């Protein structure tokens, strides 16, 4: 398995690497080039080009992509219905980009297409990092807060809890984020249960790589 990552920041990518390794129970080969986006919606903007590049120019078989939901609608089971697409749900948007970009690609490098692995952190990746530390931080609490119009916490508060400062340096941010991600590495069940946006990523990761029949 050869994996590439695309996320909103180097810190997010460092976390994803730990979580994906934990899910796979092994250390996958990671594409040497680090693909980067400059936050949302830049992830969405560069994703088609990254998919195209990986498909035709590399032997990468899996692309892991994540974004923060911020204030957008949270993905629900109803969105998974066949032919359903929520125009403002970031999970739906990312999946649609994969679908539309690669639907006419010919097979290349021994696979039909690059496997899609998509997750959305609600409302931000720092919520995943606080899972198991702050019981009140979970996707259900955020979704309920959105429905009531009273959010249980802000993204800034989550970041402050993880980094203890509003302005962490990048090396410090990565160190804090990886430390919290390492808590989950051995047992991802709590994160999977509290954050369906992460559970979706795990399900994608369990799908077979689309191979030429």
Partner 1 sequence: MIASVAFRNFKALRNTSLRLSPFNLVIGANGSGKTSLIQALQQLRALAKLPLGDPATVTRAGGSEISFAFDAPHLGVIARLGCVDDAVCDLLRVESVNRADWEEVKVGLATMRSYVFDHAAMAAPAPRESGARLAGDGSNLAAVLARWQRETPAAFDQLQAELTRWLPEFTGIVVPEDAGGVVRLGLKIGDAEGPVMADNLSQGVFYVLGILVLSFDPAPPAVVCIEEIDRGIHPRMLRAVRDALYRLSYPAAMGETRAPVQVIATTHSPYLLDLFREHPEEIVITQKHGHEAHFERLADRADLAELLREGSLGDIWFSGILGGVPEES
Using CB under 8 A, list all residues that contact partner 1.
Answer: 10, 36, 38-42, 70-72, 155-156, 159, 165-172
Decide whether 179 or 190 has the Cβ nearer to partner 1: 179
CA distance 31 to 104: 24
Say how many C-beta atoms besides its own lie within 10 A of residue 43's C-beta. 25
CB of 6 to partner 1, least distance (A): 14
Provide the minimum distance between the beta carbon of 165 and partner 1 in the complex, in angstroms, as a whole number: 4
Q: How far is the CB of 163 from partner 1 (least distance, A)?
A: 9
Does residue 119 sit in helix, strand or coil?
strand
Compute the least distance from the CB of residue 117 to partner 1, in Å: 24
Instruction: Find where tokens 């609608």 sit.
Output: 73
Which of 170-174's residues contact partners 24+ apart within 8 Å by CB, and which partners? Answer: 170/10, 170/11, 173/11, 174/10, 174/11, 174/14
- Least spacing, CB of residue 164 vs partner 1, in Å: 9
Residue number, 55 or 159, with CB nearest to partner 1: 159
- By C-beta, is 26 or 166 nearer to partner 1? 166
**Among residues 38 and 189, whose Cβ is nearest to partner 1?**
38
**Orientation angle between helical segments 90-102 and 42-57, nearest 10 degrees:** 30
CB of 168 to partner 1, least distance (A): 7
The answer to whether the CB of 63 falls within 8 A of the CB of 118 is no
The nearer residue to partner 1, 37 or 131, going by C-beta atoms, is 37
Nearer to partner 1, 70 or 134 (CB): 70
In the chain, what is the straight-line distance between the N-terminal and C-terminal CA atoms, in Å? 18
Cβ atoms of residues 138 and 194 within 8 Å: yes
């Amino acid at each position: 398995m050869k994996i590439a990552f695309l996320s909103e920041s180097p810190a997010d990518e460092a976390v994803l690497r730990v979580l994906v390794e934990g899910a796979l129970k092994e250390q996958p080969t990671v594409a040497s080039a680090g693909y980067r986006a400059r936050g949302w919606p830049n992830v969405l903007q560069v994703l088609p080009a990254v998919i195209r590049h990986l498909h035709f120019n590399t032997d990468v078989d899996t692309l892991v992509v994540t974004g923060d939901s911020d204030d957008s609608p949270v993905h629900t089971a109803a969105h998974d219905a066949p032919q359903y697409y929520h125009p403002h749900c970031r999970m739906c948007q990312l999946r649609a980009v994969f679908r539309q970009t690669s639907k006419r690609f010919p097979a290349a490098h021994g696979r039909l297409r690059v496997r899609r692995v998509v997750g959305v952190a609600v409302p931000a990746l720092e919520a995943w990092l606080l899972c198991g530390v702050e019981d009140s931080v979970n996707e259900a609490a955020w979704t309920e807060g959105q429905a009531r119009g009273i959010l249980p916490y802000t993204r800034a508060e989550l970041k402050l809890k993880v980094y203890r400062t509003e302005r962490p340096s990048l090396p410090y941010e990565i160190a804090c984020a990886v430390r919290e991600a390492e808590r989950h590495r051995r047992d991802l069940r709590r994160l999977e249960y509290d954050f369906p946006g992460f559970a979706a990523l795990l399900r994608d990761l369990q799908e077979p790589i689309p191979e030429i029949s």
